[in-house]
């Protein structure tokens, strides 16, 4: 980036006096950025506040110049700011953090230069987008991003909170700009950059549509805003800027969503220059492993990035094509690769592909998008050094201990007895263990019924299998702990205890453990213990009845599904329902369109992605509970030592042999004392 921007071109938007002011402010902005960079390089902490304020003041002055609106792509600059925001939030080093803030300042400077460059090219309705508000968003962001560097205290802890705080700041600024309240809730709750990207894109579209509508009402000539695909000289659509996907490569449904397509057609949709379909992008990246390999996907992306212009174009048309199509396609490809590195690179096999991606970044992307190449290089290095696959965006939790409930400890932690443990604390510790397993589940494990495949296949769905095994062990432990007691009153006491634990799990929104305990009550070994069940009091039975009704399979778990839609995280849903839904989708839908081996059934992948996203939404909010190692060790010991089903059933028969109807009546009369009268 040059230290001094060019003078603005002549334009109907620029009066001569304003042009001079803008040019002066642009130079001042560039100088302020350079000063900030120098302070960052020398780590002059005391100078940072003053230097940042210099950048902000230049932006504020630019905002005071009238008629500088919508002359640069709203989506691009906001996306760049959010990208930098996420990187800043993940950085623990003071020097690196300052470097990210400097990059943000450079983005503001670049935006200002783009303002001037495109003022002459695009004549847009003044009411379409209020660019002062857009710059205000960036100004607020810059100020907030630098705040932690100027505060005393724990830098790591402050940085860990940066991202969520800045989302709120950005959303508040947008709220003040235009009425898009229906989008803001999603923005504030977003946990991934693609969701933020979608929200901003929709905001941009909303503002654009509002502006066009208002201006058409105000002006009788109904002037319209030129689209990306229009020739700036004639106002007519340029054929070489249109989408190049053939109808036989991509089939849409009546609502405009993708029904099916070839891999080539789907990748073109993924990187479409004139439309961002964020829902499609997320669905594609969540499910692509079910219809192609990572290498096949990136071969298509590499070709897309290096696409050639159509034949027969004039030199001017080629330049227009590069500016209005190629640049945007490359931005889309960059965002897909970046998103993949951050979130979807979650298989051991992907690691072997990272050197290939690194080479492409260094040799190709770096020549056309230096800023983007730097980001990708850092992400690739983090991936290569990462011991565990999965989302590298997840931050270290900085939870204050005062936010956690005090553990309820037994009198003797070294010799724990089951009934001496408070049911609530046992439920808490089991919830911690269950969430740890649930949180590790990756999207690829949910594809192609991978959880049912042999372990020899690269440990596919290892985390789903681990949670299933854990749930089965809980069921076996509950069963074993009841049948270990020979006296019926002691069995009833343990049964009542587990009903209480199940209720505590329900109150913790831990429905997976709740169902595992319920499965023990309903299996043959426990369900048949009539004498034991007769001793359970009405209050415990009522509590159990409510749990059974909630978790019941009636009408495809309808009551549970209605409840889980309203629940506030943290939460551990019952995994079995997700696996059931995924199985129905997999078995009931073909992988390819009937009669074609090339048209991928993307409607099937859309359904699969909906289930995966539902599962993922509860992985981001952790429980604020304190781990008690001694209690967790007690739980693990019993989970691993429980007997198998056949042995437990035989023990159940020994404790309470089968009774005929008259035998049951005689026993009850004897136990009541009436038979001895």
Question: For position 67, what pLDDT does the model report?
Answer: 39
Kindly state the percentage of the chain with pLDDT values over 90: 40
Q: Which of 420-424, 455-459, 494-498 has the lowest mean pLDDT?
A: 455-459
468 and 366 within one domain: no
Question: For position 574, what pLDDT does the model report?
Answer: 97
pLDDT of 218 higher than 70: no
Q: Are the CB atoms for 330 and 234 separated by under 8 Å?
A: no
Question: For position 442, what pLDDT does the model report?
Answer: 92
Domain assignment present for residue 250? The answer is: yes
Domain assignment present for residue 311? The answer is: yes
Domain assignment present for residue 424? The answer is: yes
Q: Which of 24-38, 516-530, 541-555, 576-590 has the lowest mean pLDDT?
A: 24-38
Mean pLDDT of 295-308: 94
Domain assignment present for residue 150? The answer is: yes
Tell which of 385, 403, 433 closes a domain: 385
Domain assignment present for residue 391? The answer is: no
Question: For position 120, what pLDDT does the model report?
Answer: 40
State the pLDDT confidence band at 82, using cuts at 50, 70 and 90: very low
250 and 172 within one domain: no
Domain that holds residue 139: 16-218
Question: For position 38, what pLDDT does the model report?
Answer: 63
Domain assignment present for residue 579? The answer is: no
State the pLDDT confidence band at 148, using cuts at 50, 70 and 90: very low
Task: Give, in order, the Cα–Cα distances in Å from 40 to each of 46, 110, 514, 607.
Answer: 11, 19, 53, 48
- Beta-carbon contacts of 292 under 8 Å, excluding residues fewer than 6 positions away, are 263
Greater model confidence, 142 or 471: 471
Phi-psi region of 324 (alpha: psi -120 to 50; beta: other; left: phi over 0): alpha
pLDDT of 644 higher than 60: yes
Cα–Cα distance measured from residue 125 to residue 223, given in angstroms and rounded to the nearest whole number: 8
Q: What average pLDDT is seen over the chain?
A: 73
Mean pLDDT of 370-396: 71
Q: Are the CB atoms for 651 and 483 separated by under 8 Å?
A: yes
Cα–Cα distance measured from residue 269 to residue 136, given in angstroms and rounded to the nearest whole number: 33
pLDDT of 230 higher than 70: no
Question: For position 62, what pLDDT does the model report?
Answer: 52
Domain assignment present for residue 581? The answer is: no
Greater model confidence, 134 or 638: 638
Question: For position 17, what pLDDT does the model report?
Answer: 41
Question: For position 75, what pLDDT does the model report?
Answer: 38
Mean pLDDT of 257-268: 94
Question: For position 389, what pLDDT does the model report?
Answer: 47
pLDDT of 232 higher than 70: no
Question: For position 60, what pLDDT does the model report?
Answer: 52
pLDDT digits 0-9 by tens, 416-428: 999 999 999 999 9
Cα–Cα distance measured from residue 601 to residue 599, given in angstroms and rounded to the nearest whole number: 6
Cα–Cα distance measured from residue 652 to residue 484, given in angstroms and rounded to the nearest whole number: 10
457 and 314 within one domain: no
State the pLDDT confidence band at 152, using cuts at 50, 70 and 90: very low
123 and 58 within one domain: yes
Mean pLDDT of 281-309: 94
Question: CA 126, 130, 134: angle at the middle one, nearest 5?
Answer: 150
116 and 49 within one domain: yes
Dihedral pair phi/psi, residue 278, rounded to 5°? -60, -40
Q: Which of 55-69, 184-198, 310-324 has the lowest mean pLDDT?
A: 184-198
Mean pLDDT of 27-49: 58
243 and 211 within one domain: no
Tell which of 186, 218, 250 closes a domain: 218
Cα–Cα distance measured from residue 659 to residue 655, given in angstroms and rounded to the nearest whole number: 12
Q: Are the CB atoms for 341 and 379 separated by under 8 Å?
A: yes
Domain assignment present for residue 435? The answer is: yes
Question: For position 14, what pLDDT does the model report?
Answer: 35
639 and 533 within one domain: yes
Q: Count how many domains the chain has.
A: 3
534 and 448 within one domain: yes
Cα–Cα distance measured from residue 305 to residue 372, given in angstroms and rounded to the nearest whole number: 13
Mean pLDDT of 538-557: 93
What global pTM score does this model have? Answer: 0.65
Whichever domain contains 316, its CATH number is 1.20.870.10
Tell which of 363, 385, 407 closes a domain: 385
Mean pLDDT of 3-11: 33
Question: For position 122, what pLDDT does the model report?
Answer: 39
Question: For position 233, what pLDDT does the model report?
Answer: 47
162 and 248 within one domain: no
Whichever domain contains 498, its CATH number is 1.10.840.10
Question: For position 156, what pLDDT does the model report?
Answer: 43
State the pLDDT confidence band at 343, using cuts at 50, 70 and 90: confident
278 and 378 within one domain: yes
Question: For position 50, what pLDDT does the model report?
Answer: 61
Kindly state the percentage of the chain with pLDDT values over 70: 57
State the pLDDT confidence band at 342, using cuts at 50, 70 and 90: confident
Q: Which of 189-198, 420-429, 573-582 has the lowest mean pLDDT?
A: 189-198
Question: For position 664, what pLDDT does the model report?
Answer: 59
Q: Are the CB atoms for 196 and 184 separated by under 8 Å?
A: no
502 and 367 within one domain: no
Mean pLDDT of 262-291: 91
558 and 485 within one domain: yes
Dihedral pair phi/psi, residue 252, rounded to 5°? -100, 155
């Amino acid at each position: 980036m040059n230290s001094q921007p060019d003078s603005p071109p002549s334009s109907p938007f620029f009066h001569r006096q304003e042009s001079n002011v803008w040019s002066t402010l642009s130079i001042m902005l560039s100088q302020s950025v350079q000063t900030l960079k120098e302070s960052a390089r020398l780590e002059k902490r005391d100078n940072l506040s003053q230097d940042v304020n210099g950048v902000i003041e230049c932006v504020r002055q630019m905002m005071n110049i009238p008629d500088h609106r919508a002359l640069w792509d709203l989506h691009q600059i906001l996306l760049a700011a959010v990208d930098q925001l996420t990187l800043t939030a993940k950085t623990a080093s003071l020097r690196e953090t300052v470097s990210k803030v400097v990059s943000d300042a450079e983005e503001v400077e670049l935006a200002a230069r783009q303002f001037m460059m495109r003022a002459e090219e695009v004549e847009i309705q003044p009411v379409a987008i209020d660019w002062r508000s857009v710059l205000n968003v960036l100004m607020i962001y810059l100020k907030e991003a630098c705040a932690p560097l100027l505060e005393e205290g724990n830098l790591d802890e402050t940085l860990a909170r940066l991202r969520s705080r800045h989302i709120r700041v950005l959303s508040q600024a947008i709220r003040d700009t235009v009425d898009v309240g229906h989008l803001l809730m999603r923005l504030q709750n977003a946990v991934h950059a693609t969701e933020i990207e979608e929200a901003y894109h929709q905001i941009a579209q909303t503002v654009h549509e509002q502006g066009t509508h208002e201006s058409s009402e105000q002006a009788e000539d109904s002037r319209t805003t030129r689209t990306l695909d229009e020739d700036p000289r004639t106002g007519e659509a340029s054929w070489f800027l249109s989408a190049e996907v053939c109808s036989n490569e991509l089939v849409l449904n009546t609502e405009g969503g993708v029904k099916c397509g070839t891999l080539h057609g789907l990748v073109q949709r993924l990187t479409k220059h004139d439309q961002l379909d964020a829902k499609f992008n997320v669905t594609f990246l969540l499910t692509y492993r079910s219809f192609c390999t990572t290498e096949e996907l990136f071969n298509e992306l590499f070709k897309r990035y290096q696409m050639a212009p159509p034949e027969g174009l004039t030199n001017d048309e080629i330049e227009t094509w590069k500016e209005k199509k190629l640049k945007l396609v490359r931005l889309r490809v960059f965002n897909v690769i970046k998103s993949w590195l951050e979130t979807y690179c979650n298989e051991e096999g992907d690691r072997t592909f990272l050197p290939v991606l690194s080479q492409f970044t260094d040799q190709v992307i770096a020549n056309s998008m230096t800023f983007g190449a730097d980001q990708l290089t850092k992400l690739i290095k983090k991936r290569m050094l990462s011991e565990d696959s999965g989302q590298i965006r997840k931050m270290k939790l900085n939870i204050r201990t005062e936010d956690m409930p005090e553990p309820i400890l037994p009198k003797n932690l070294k010799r724990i007895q089951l009934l001496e443990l408070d049911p609530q604390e046992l439920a808490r510790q089991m919830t911690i263990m269950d969430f740890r397993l649930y949180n590790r589940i990756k999207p690829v494990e949910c594809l192609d019924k991978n959880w049912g495949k042999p372990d020899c296949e690269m440990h596919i769905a290892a985390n789903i299998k681990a949670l299933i095994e854990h749930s089965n062990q809980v069921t076996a432990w509950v069963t074993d702990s009841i049948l270990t007691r020979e006296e019926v009153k002691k069995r009833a006491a343990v049964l009542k205890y587990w009903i209480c634990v199940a209720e505590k799990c329900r109150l913790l929104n831990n429905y997976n453990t709740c169902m595992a305990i319920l499965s023990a009550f309903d299996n043959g070994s426990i369900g048949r213990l009539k004498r034991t069940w007769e001793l359970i009091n009405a209050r415990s039975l009522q509590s159990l009845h409510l749990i059974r009704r909630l978790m019941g399979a009636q009408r495809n778990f309808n009551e549970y599904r209605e409840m889980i839609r309203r629940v506030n995280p943290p939460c551990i849903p019952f995994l079995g329902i997700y696996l059931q839904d995924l199985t129905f989708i997999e078995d009931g839908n073909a992988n390819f369109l009937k009669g074609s081996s090339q048209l991928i059934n993307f409607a099937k992948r859309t359904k699969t992605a909906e289930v995966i996203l539902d599962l993922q939404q509860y992985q981001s909010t952790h429980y604020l509970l304190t781990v008690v190692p001694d209690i967790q060790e007690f739980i693990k010991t019993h989970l691993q030592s429980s007997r198998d089903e056949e042995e437990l059933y035989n023990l159940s028969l020994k404790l309470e042999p089968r009774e005929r109807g008259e035998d049951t009546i005689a026993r009850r009369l004897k136990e009541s004392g009436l038979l001895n009268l």
